Chains A and B, each alone.
Chain A
Amino acid sequence: MILLGKVMLGIAGITVAGVGLLCSEGLIEVNVVERQPEAHHVYVLAPAALVPMTMRFIPSRKFGRASRELQPWMPTIRAALDDLRETDDVTLVDVTEPGQHVVVTKQGGSVVVDVHDQDETVHVSAPIRAIASTIEQVAAASDDSSN
């Protein structure tokens, strides 16, 4: 009985540690509400650490063009993301048009995009570290695919 308790405690500990590790990079949140023609609601909350891991399973040739186009801009992207991580929370862009409102903000360690229009509402929140590592992987795929 004591042995079973120890095993259960071990499993619980590993589970907690695993969840903690997965969530250490923050969470990616996607919330899409479509209103027309039919109401759809998509809500995804996933650990950001999964994205770079998942990227490793996608063949690098799939990123060929994207990575080639990203390469020359990587120093700029790195500088932007590094500094964005350090800056205070700020609304970077706020665009209002009749029937549409787009807001891009930096909140905590994440970039948040909110789009509201007549047909749908989209909310995407992604940790900057996850964005940075994902972009790095896409850009690096260029070298792999050229070999």
Chain B
Amino acid sequence: MRKVLRSIAVVGLSAAMVGGMAMPVVAAPAERYLHVRVEDPAKGESVNVNLPLSLAEKILPTVNKGGLHDGHVTINHADFNDVDVRAILDAIRTAPDNEFVTVKEKDQDVRVAKSNGNLIVHVRDNTKGGEKVDVTVPMKVVDALLSTAKQNELDVAAALQALSAEGDALLVTVEDATQHVRVWVDSRNTQD
């Protein structure tokens, strides 16, 4: 009887071990958050927003208003002074790492570059208290934006998914004499 019990225990333990190996525990992917912080220290004002990216991904395709429909945004060339945004993004996407545009004016410097898999835009307003704008967008997000077949559309929903799959990233910083704006993505649900 004891032998039978021992055999059952060994078989049971072996089955449990094999079962454990066959079905490894798959951890759910960590939630990622889009953070927006706007601060105006002079006025003592601040706005902090923490939006789960999964929430944005699910909401966006349901919004059908204005140029936004089914997660796509329709580009009206008139809104961009007839600049073909999609063509520009596509040209940048297929180009090698380089500095694409550097515009130096008396009061403003603009630099657009592609570096280490990111599209980088720096704008410097050199007037007193002028704005400093830095935008960094992973090229995978740009790829996703252009993944729709329609020429006058950008796929924002796909871009959000791509952003969610990317690592932590500081996307936008804007600083002027009074306000600081910061937009970033990470897996923390607080801004601390």
Q: Enumerate chain A interface residues (CB-CB to B < 8 A).
A: 72, 75-76, 78-80, 82-84, 86-98
The answer to whether B45 touches A98 (Cβ under 8 A) is yes
- B189: which A residues are within 8 A, CB to CB? 88-91
B96 to chain A, nearest CB (A): 39
Write the chain A residue with the least CB distance to B40: A97
The answer to whether B52 touches A87 (Cβ under 8 A) is: yes
Could you write out 21 A-B pairs with CB less than 8 Å apart?
A76-B59, A79-B62, A80-B59, A86-B54, A87-B31, A87-B55, A88-B31, A90-B33, A90-B50, A90-B190, A91-B48, A91-B189, A93-B48, A94-B48, A95-B46, A96-B44, A96-B47, A97-B43, A98-B43, A98-B44, A98-B45
Decide if B59 touches A91 in the complex (CB within 8 Å).
Answer: no
Q: Quick check: is B104 within 8 A (CB to CB) of the other chain?
A: no
Bound CA–CA A95/B47 (angstroms): 4
User: Which residues of B are interface residues toward A (Cβ below 8 A)?
Assistant: 31, 33, 43-52, 54-55, 58-59, 61-65, 189-190
Assembly CA distance A129 to B123 (angstroms): 46
**CA gap between A82 and B59 in the complex, in Å:** 10
What is the distance, in angstroms, from A8's C-beta to the closest C-beta of chain B?
49
Q: Lowest 6 A-B CB distances belong to which pairs?
A: A75-B62, A94-B48, A90-B189, A76-B62, A79-B58, A87-B52
Instruction: Report chain B residues within 8 Å CB of A97.
Output: 43-45
B52 near A83 with CB under 8 A, answer yes
Q: How distant is A45 from chain B, measured CB to nearest CB, in Å?
A: 27
**B33: which A residues are within 8 A, CB to CB?**
90
Taking a contact as CB atoms under 8 Å apart, the answer to whether A92 and B45 are in contact is no
A83 partner residues in chain B, CB cutoff 8 A: 52, 54-55, 58-59
Q: Within 8 Å CB of B44, what residues of A?
A: 96-98
CA distance A113 to B93 in the complex (A): 43
Instruction: Decide if B52 touches A91 in the complex (CB within 8 Å).
Output: no
**Alpha-carbon separation in the docked complex, A57 to B89 (Å):** 56
Query: How many angstroms between the C-alpha atoms of A80 and B48 in the bound complex?
Result: 19
What's the minimum C-beta distance from B68 to chain A, rounded to whole angstroms?
11
Chain A residues in 8 Å Cβ range of B55: 80, 83-84, 87
User: Which residues of chain A are near B47, meaning CB under 8 Å?
Assistant: 93-96
Give the residues in chain B near A88, CB-CB below 8 Å.
31, 52, 189
| Chain B residues positioned under 8 Å from A84 (CB to CB) | 52, 55
**In the bound complex, CA of A90 to CA of B108 (Å):** 39
Provide the bound-state CA to CA distance between A5 and B2, in Å.
52
Chain B nearest Cβ from A106, distance in angstroms: 9
Inter-chain CA distance A20–B47, complex, in Å, is: 40
* B58 nearest CB across to chain A (Å): 4
Chain A residue with the shortest CB-CB distance to B44? A98
Look across to chain A and name the residue whose beta carbon is closest to the beta carbon of B61.
A79
Known: A82-B58, A90-B189, A92-B50. 13 other contacts (CB 8 A): A72-B64, A76-B63, A79-B62, A80-B58, A83-B54, A84-B55, A88-B189, A90-B50, A92-B51, A93-B49, A95-B47, A95-B48, A98-B44
